[in-house]
Structure 1
Amino acid sequence: MWLLVPFVILPIVEIALFIQVGGAIGILPTITLVLLSAVLGATVMRRQGAMAMLDVQRAMNEFRDPTAPMAHGALIMIAGVLMMVPGLFTSAIGVLLLIPGVRTLVMGWMGRRVRVVGGARGNRARTSDSDFAGDFPSGFGRGRGPSGEGVIDGEYSVQDDPPAPVREGLTDGRPGGRPGNSGWTRH
């Protein structure tokens, strides 16, 4: 039912605003205002969208949480789209979303309504490098499984080195020690 609101109510609001604003400032200035809004929206999407992507990359390079820059970038893109839609009400909402304080309020409002479902089993947040020390009790190659219950063990064996000519790439290891076709190239 709530999906019908934008498709039924929004056009009525836009038409009413066109009539009111057109009656107050005239038809040509109203059309010019809508066209300028569309051009500004396209410019915002191109410039601010690229800046938002740079903010996300910078956050990831600095090992910070990229969700805030991603949310700001998404809201900036939504603002650009709303400004490109022909209408005064949608353009006004788009202009409001360009204000960083308004975006922060919208993100807070949306954050209260988002619910995280699921997640990794047995994982815990790590706050420092010292937290990793407990997962490797006796050396390299041992750690805790995903459920935190066991240790993964491995075995290894030491093999003798191949003869010196094979190690140095002089032969392919065939008897007689002569150079030959290794199988990697055609002769």
Structure 2
Amino acid sequence: MRILFLLFAILPIIEIALLVKVGGIIGGWNTIGIVILTAFIGAYFVRREGIQTLQTAQMKMQRGEMPGKEMVDGLMLAVAGVLMVTPGLITDTLGILLVLPGTRHVIAQFVSKNMQLRVVTATSSQQGSPFSGADPFAQKRDENGDVYEGQYTEKSQDDDDTPRIR
């Protein structure tokens, strides 16, 4: 929740202050030119890296492998694209870090470790909660642990041979 507050409230204020400061140093038109140029360069790199990631994912799927790393890369590239198109110098810097393969992989490893830690922490803290009872959506299993699902009809000999669905 704090991260969302920082992203939507404080980051735009910092971006505007930085753009005004840079505009005072190098000029307003030069600052606008840099922002537009970084948006075009970022869009080019996001497209190039995205196509390469998509091709790698397709090759893995053809071999029957799960393209997990490529899915994370695709998500990071989508975030990088949004950051690069957003006007500002800080968002452009973050976008460039996500577009470059070396830094993107380092950030992806950090995020995945952080997510794993949160998942483990969240599941271990929920064990004592009042909602930790039986799962109402769990599948019913027989004594061997097998799951059997479906409908069947039962025909009785003593009736008029009308099937009954149970």
Q: Normalising to structure 2: TM-score of the pair? A: 0.65
% same residue: 40
Aligned pairs for 1:158-177 (under 5 A) are none
1:99-144 deviations in Å (ceiling 9; x for gaps) = 22211121111111224689xxxxxxxxxxxxxxxxxxxxxxxxxx
Give the greater-gyration-radius structure (CA).
1
Secondary structure of 1:86's counterpart equals coil
Q: Give the structure with the larger helix fraction.
A: 2
Deviation at 1:148, TM superposition (A): 9.8
Gaps of 5+ in 2: 124-140, 147-166
Q: Normalising to structure 1: TM-score of the pair? A: 0.58
RCO higher in structure (CA 8 A, sep ≥6)? 2
Secondary structure of 2:37's counterpart equals helix
* 2:81 pairs with 1:86: no
Partner of 2:144: 149
Partner of 2:5: 4
Deviation at 1:57, TM superposition (A): 0.8
- Aligned pairs, how many? 125
1:125-173 deviations in Å (ceiling 9; x for gaps) = xxxxxxxxxxxxxxxxxxxxx989378xxxxxxxxxxxxxxxxxxxxxx
Aligned residue identity for 1:104: H
Deviation at 1:77, TM superposition (A): 2.0
1:74-116 deviations in Å (ceiling 9; x for gaps) = 2122112111001111001111112222111211111112246
RMSD: 2.7
Gaps of 5+ in 1: 119-145, 152-187
Structure 1 residues 57, 23: CA separation in 2 closer, same or farther (over 3 Å shift)? same
Deviates more, 1:85-94 or 1:42-51: 42-51
